[in-house]
Amino acid sequence: MSNVIVFANQKGGVGKTTSAVNIGASLAEKDQKVLLIDFDPQGNLSSSVGLFNNEKTIYSALAGQFSINEVIHAIPEFKLDVIPATIDLSAASLELADQEKREYFLKELLDPIKERYDFILIDCPPSLDLLTINGIVASDAIIIPVQCEFFAAQGFLTLLFNTISRIKQRLNPKLHILGVIFTMYDSRTRLAQEVIEMVVEKVGDPSLFFKTVIPRNVKLAEAPSHSQPVTQYASASSGAERYRNLAQEVLERVKK
């Protein structure tokens, strides 16, 4: 059975793309069949795995220029399938805006290929626009990366949770929150620990948080410019090790 999981947080730079790529690569190491979908016009996930300026993108499939099968790029080196995005995806929000069932475009595109994969991971842009809503509607579960910094404890998480519960009620009743990941944890500062405590208290349900916390790790920041997941670029780094742990938690959580 396929698990479709979306990485969402309207704040940028919190580790959505890094988490999607490295959880995906770690699940693939554990012999899971994984499809990564770049659903951000910035195309960071695509370039992180070495796909640049491709014309066979998620947008070209949404626009009917290519079939969904044609836009799936196999990357045997990482044991991953990837659908890339480029800046033209930003046009999709506008083009979809006044169409019927505009929240379901991605879901309808993925339905026919779902059963081929154990996991389909969708990386969203830093917004709550129609692209992100399409990503959430297409998914069974959502993972929310949160950076361990002061702003994480402010209102934007509440806004995100409210948006998720509205989408769940109106558009996708089976949706659930798989978990919140704390990212870029710096063990040298007290602030990081305080932020975790504040956010957990504010959210009120400790079981929503993954036990594995992702440290600030230079290998994680370097890996994308080498077009590799950190699990390949620096297989023994703390970043790689933590993302493998996180992938194990993901496997356990989807079983429940």
CA distance 4 to 136: 9
Contact code string over 193-232 relative to Mg ion, x by CB under 5 A: ----------------------------------------
Residues 6+ apart with CB under 8 A from 134: 39, 96, 103, 104, 105, 106, 107
Applying CB under 6 A, among 214, 240, 246, 250 the residue interacting with ligand ADP is: 214
Interaction of residue 187 with ligand ADP, rule CB under 6 A = no
List of E strands, 169-226: 176-183
- 134 is in the binding site of which of Mg ion, ligand ADP, none (Cβ under 5 to 8 A by kind)? none
Applying CB under 5 A, among 44, 93, 212, 227 the residue interacting with Mg ion is: 44
- 231 is in the binding site of which of Mg ion, ligand ADP, none (Cβ under 5 to 8 A by kind)? none
Closest CA to 135 of 13, 12, 35, 39: 39
Q: Which stretch binds ligand ADP (CB under 6 A): 110-118, 194-202, 212-220, 246-254?
A: 212-220
Q: Which stretch binds ligand ADP (CB under 6 A): 62-70, 111-119, 152-160, 217-225?
A: 217-225
User: From the CB of 121, what's the least distance to Mg ion, in Å?
Assistant: 12
The residue (of 12 and 112) whose beta carbon lies closer to ligand ADP is: 12
Query: Which tokens in the block code for residue 41?
Result: 């016009």
C-alpha 190 chain-centroid distance:
28
Task: Give the other-Cβ count within 10 Å of 235's Cβ.
Answer: 14
Residues 6+ apart with CB under 8 A from 96: 62, 102, 105, 130, 134
Interaction of residue 18 with ligand ADP, rule CB under 6 A = yes
Whole-number Cα distances in Å, 24 to 81, 176, 199, 207: 10, 19, 26, 22
Interaction of residue 221 with ligand ADP, rule CB under 6 A = yes
User: From the CB of 190, what's the least distance to ligand ADP, in Å?
Assistant: 18
Interaction of residue 217 with ligand ADP, rule CB under 6 A = yes
| DSSP-derived pairing of the beta strands 34-38 and 73-75 | unpaired
| Contacts to ligand ADP by CB under 6 A | 12-18, 44, 126, 183-184, 214, 216-217, 220-221, 224
